[in-house]
Structure formats: C-alpha cells, structure tokens
Structure 1
Amino acid sequence: MAQLEQPLTGQEKVKIVSSLLKQAPPEEFCEAFRDLRLLMGDDSLMCQEAASLCALHNKLYFTPVRRKECEVLLTRHNELEEEHFLDSQRQVSFKFDHLRKEASEFQAHPQEDEKGEAWRRALYEGLKAYVSSHYPGGICSVFIKDTAIRKILIACIASRLRRPSAFWNGLWKSEWTFTLTPASTSTQVAGTIMVQAHYFEDGNFHLTVCKDVAESLPVTTETQTSQDFVKLLEDADNQFQDGLMEEYQRMSDTHLKAFRRQLPIIHSTIDWEKIVTAKIVEIQVEVFC
C-alpha cells in the first residue's frame, strides 16, 4: 500500500505562494492573494506572510507612489530600511504601508554628494521628458549609489494600464544601470525591459516577455551624457516593441489559432447576421418568382 505524502510545512507553503505571487498579473496582486488564501486553507500563515509578500511584489514591479510630497517608484534601489524608502528627486524619505499602499512619515533627506546629485538630476530630467511623451501614465525614478572609486546610476521606468471593464491589464517596466569612473570616456549600460499583459475575457491569456540590453555609452558632460542615454534607451525600446509586434502577429497566425475559431484568409471576422439576412431575402425572392 502506497504511503500518503507528508503535508507541506509552513516554510514550503510560503515558498510556493511566493513563487506564484511573483507571477501575479499587473494590478492583480490582491485578487491572486485572495485566491491563494482559499486554496492554501491556512489563514494564520497567509496573514502572517501577507505584508512581506506584498512588499516583494511592490518592489519587483515598481509600484508608483504619487503624493504631493513625492513621486517615485518603489524598488530595491531606494529602500532605506524596512518599510522606508527614498525619493531622490524630492530628497525626502517616507514610510510605506505595503498592504494599504499608503505613504506617511515624510522627512527631509538631502543628498550630500553634490557632484553625484548633478549627474543624477540631469539624467532624471532627460528621462522624465522621454517618459512623459512615450508612456501613458508612466513614471520614472533615477537613483545613485556612491562607492569609493565610482558612482552607479540606476534608472527605472514603469507604465501600467488597468482596464478591468475591457478584461485586460498591462505593465511595461525597465531598469537601466551604468557606472561613472573618473577619467573614463565611456561606460557600459546594462538594461532589462519587461512587458506583462493579462487578458481574461472568455479565457485567460497571460504574457510575460523580457529582454536584456547591453550597449556602450560615451561619457562627456552631464547634459550630453543624459541625452545620449535617452537616445540609447529609445532605440532599445523601439527595437523591443517592433520585435514584440512581429512575434504577436506570428503567434496570431499560428499558435493562438488553436485557442479560437480560425479566421478566413482576409483576417477579418465574418458578419454571420448579414449573411443570414441575405440568405433569407434570396429564399423569399425564389419563392415569389
């Protein structure tokens, strides 16, 4: 007689739930958490882990904080300590309640490195102009980390659209990093672009696409380097979007047809009501003739 499998430990349950919530569609963490709570059947454990799992999701998907005191993305790069974050542009720190999505306890947090702040601010201003014209409802944040011999600049972008009435949600986010070293005339930019979409009308289609980018960037003045960086980022975005649309078209013509009725060669739906009406008229004419 086969032995019954041992029940999962609390740690194993948390690991499984964490893995599933990392894949939660954009803007649907609460719904996914609620469903997993029912499936797990362990309310005390889920409530105990809720805050940490929500915090992980918020930082992973660059949750925006928009208040009159600050406008910044939540990331691992601007986390000061548990539940406290930094808005480098407004130079304020704040506490963030991940479950309620509320910011509080705003305090001044000035930058001490004036030279590094000049680089960060120039990069932010150039990036903000690009994001404002290309990302509906998008937001960007730029952070700087200073070491003994170099400065590390990190740029983050996130744009999310929530359309539950149309049965879809979407997220475009990217993260870019490069270093500034004294006397260096160029640097290597490393970027990651991710698009996540969820369509759930009469089905459940979840798409996640990521692309890594590595390019060389000339380093001159703050303003010129910022302009060159934004141009590099725009080219990478356009290439990624073009590739994504080509792949979507290819999937529509091949794989996605397995999930729906095949369309005619003209790639448009058939107006069955019009055809039926025409047929009825045709029959009536034949009868009267």
Structure 2
Amino acid sequence: KNFRHEVSKKDKEKAIRNLITQAPPGEFIDSFNDLSLLVQDEKLMRQYGEWAGNKYCKKYFVPLNIDGHQVLLSHHNELGDQRFFDSHTRLSFKFDVLQNQLKDIQSHGVLRNEAECLRMVVFYALKIYVSKHFPSGNCSVLRKTIRNKEFLIACIEDHHYKATDYWNGLWKSKWIFSITPFLTQVIGSIYVKAHFFKQVNFHLDISKDVQDYLDVVNQAQLALGFAKLVEEQENKFQTAVIEEFQDLQVSLKRIIRRDLPVTRTYINWQRIVNDIKLVMYPRLGYVNYSKNVLCHWIT
C-alpha cells in the first residue's frame, strides 16, 4: 500500500515561515521556488512569500532602480503596508519581490528645510566614498524624527549574487546620528554575509557594532567628517576580520576538516578554495577574502 502523510495547513504555514525567512542574500527567489515545489499550495506560498519577501528586502537593504537612481529598501524608509518612499525622486511605492516589480507608485512630499539640506549634503559625501571603495555599492541617507529630535540614518550596501560562481556575498552597514550642535554621537553596525555552495554548504556571518563622535561645525564639515569616520571604521573592521581568520587558522582546521557524520569523508577545501575567486573585493580591500587569503587560513 502507498501510505502518504498529509501535512496540515498549520504545519505548512509554520514550515514556510521558518524556512523562507532563512534565505541567504541573493537567494530568496530560489528558496521560494524550491519550497513551492515541496508545499504544493500556490495560494499559501504567495501569501507568505509576499510577507517574507518584504522582511528579506528590509533586512538586506535590497537596491531598486527608480529613474536611474538606486533606492535601498529598509525599515527606515518604510511607510507601512509594505510601502516605501524615496526622498530623491519624491515617490512612494510598493515592491513585489516575487515578480521583481514596482507597484502603486505615487508622489511623496518631502519638506525642504535645513535638515533636508543636510541630508542631501551627507548623502553626496557618502556616495563619493562608496563609489571609490565598492565595485557596485549603493547608499542612502534618510531623515527620521524621534521624540522631536532629528536624526540622519545612512545605509550602505554592496553585493555579489551570481549562482554560476557558486557563492553569494553581501556587505552592508548602517549609521545613525542626531542633528545637534557642536558634538554628536555616531552609532553604526557593519555586517558581512557570504554563502558558498559548491560541494559544500558553507555560511559566513560577521558583524560588529561601533560608536564614535563627530564635531559639528557646519554642513560641509559634518558631511565630510562623517564619510571619513565611516571609511576609518569599515577599514578597521575589514582588517580585524582578516587578522581574526589568521589567528583562528588552527582551530578552523580542526572544525571544518572533521569527519562528516553521514558520508564519513573529508571536505576537499583546497579544491573549493581554488574555485573561489573573490568575496566582496572593493578597491581598497573591503572583505578582502581573496584566494590567497583563504588558502592561508584553510589549508
């Protein structure tokens, strides 16, 4: 007899929520399609796919092109009901990640005051930094009022999503500071994620929170000082990451060269490393995991 276990709708919903929200950067649609084949419920997948896609876009700062201008999706430019806004084009919109399509585009008013002028100056200073240091990086600067206090929030994103290379990688960072005279505190977070999937499924997640201070004299000085601060902190982070890998050389050998529980065979890391070209290689070496560096700490 052919016995078949029927999965309840509740269990399906739980499985969809748990699995689809774990999709690595650049792999949401692939994960969605694979899960759809297993679930065999188009309506249910569409419902949770839209919900999970929205979370995915905000988590990884997914960039969209609107009239030649790159917009990063995040929690900070979300209006609610899965609608986002862009200060540059003065538009609000919805984004259907399953169809990779902008929808319901509307005009969005932006108040042109001193804080908005500062936002634009900081954006252009940050854009110069990103264009010099990232091969295809994007950035955005947003305003937010919290308890009657004006804040600027800067987001940076660069990625490599190419399944034929058998790896995907993401660099992102977020920086926030209040618009106050004389001195302001800058709080930032830097995040790197890479996924290698040729012969082995290997995930790399690294993050760091940072704090620093900026003198506030005028708009130009603040913008240039902020861009310099971001550059210095991200350089320190990248250097620390490589040094940490070198220090963990022996420990990593013991961990990743262990017998696999199912096949009882060893991972051929040298062969994998030979196939790895690069992970996020901005011009000044951000997340500079080149083949030589990987060989140094894996082999």
Q: Same fold (TM over 0.5)?
A: yes
1:21–1:57: 8 Å Cα contact kept in structure 2?
A: no
CA–CA distance in structure 2, aligned partners of residues 262 and 62 of structure 1: 31
Q: Which residue of 2 aligns with 1:195?
A: 192
Q: Which residues in structure 2 correspond to 1:56-135 (within 5 Å)?
A: 56-68=55-67, 70-135=69-134
Q: Which residues in structure 2 correspond to 1:234-249 (within 5 Å)?
A: 234-249=231-246
Q: Which residue of 2 aligns with 1:54?
A: 53
CA–CA distance in structure 2, aligned partners of residues 95 and 131 of structure 1: 26
Change (3 A) 1:223 1:172: same
1:70–1:87: 8 Å Cα contact kept in structure 2?
A: no
Percent of aligned pairs sharing the same letter: 38
Q: Which residues in structure 2 correspond to 1:163-182 (within 5 Å)?
A: 163-181=162-180
Please state how far the C-alpha of 1:209 moved relative to its aligned partner.
Answer: 1.1
Deviations 1:102-135, CA, capped at 9 Å, x for gaps: 1244443342141111110011001000111111
CA–CA distance in structure 2, aligned partners of residues 110 and 37 of structure 1: 39
CA–CA distance in structure 2, aligned partners of residues 15 and 145 of structure 1: 34
Q: Which residue of 1 aligns with 2:287?
A: none
2:195–2:204: 8 Å Cα contact kept in structure 1?
A: yes
CA–CA distance in structure 1, aligned partners of residues 236 and 45 of structure 2: 41
- Structure index of larger Rg: 1
Q: Which residue of 1 aligns with 2:262?
A: none
CA–CA distance in structure 2, aligned partners of residues 253 and 138 of structure 1: 34
CA–CA distance in structure 2, aligned partners of residues 105 and 39 of structure 1: 32
1:70–1:92: 8 Å Cα contact kept in structure 2?
A: no
1:196–1:207: 8 Å Cα contact kept in structure 2?
A: yes
Q: Which residues in structure 2 correspond to 1:1-289 (within 5 Å)?
A: 10=10, 13-40=12-39, 43-68=42-67, 70-147=69-146, 149-181=148-180, 184-256=181-253, 258=257, 260=267
CA–CA distance in structure 1, aligned partners of residues 36 and 105 of structure 2: 33
3-state SS, counterpart of residue 26 of structure 2:
coil
Please state how far the C-alpha of 1:16 moved relative to its aligned partner.
Answer: 4.8
Change (3 A) 1:105 1:40: closer
**TM-score, normalised via structure 1 length:** 0.79
CA–CA distance in structure 2, aligned partners of residues 236 and 16 of structure 1: 39
Change (3 A) 1:261 1:34: closer
CA–CA distance in structure 2, aligned partners of residues 197 and 138 of structure 1: 16
CA–CA distance in structure 2, aligned partners of residues 151 and 105 of structure 1: 29
Residues matched between the structures, number: 258
Please state how far the C-alpha of 1:68 moved relative to its aligned partner.
Answer: 1.7
CA–CA distance in structure 1, aligned partners of residues 27 and 231 of structure 2: 29
Please state how far the C-alpha of 1:197 moved relative to its aligned partner.
Answer: 0.3
Change (3 A) 1:254 1:261: farther
Which amino acid in 1 is paired with 2:200? G
Please state how far the C-alpha of 1:261 moved relative to its aligned partner.
Answer: 5.2
Deviations 1:145-174, CA, capped at 9 Å, x for gaps: 135642111101110112322211100011
Deviations 1:207-244, CA, capped at 9 Å, x for gaps: 11111111122222111111111111111111111111
Q: Which residue of 2 aligns with 1:276?
A: none
CA–CA distance in structure 1, aligned partners of residues 76 and 295 of structure 2: 47
Change (3 A) 1:47 1:86: closer
3-state SS, counterpart of residue 76 of structure 2:
coil
CA RMSD of aligned residues (A): 2.7
Which amino acid in 2 is paired with 1:18? R
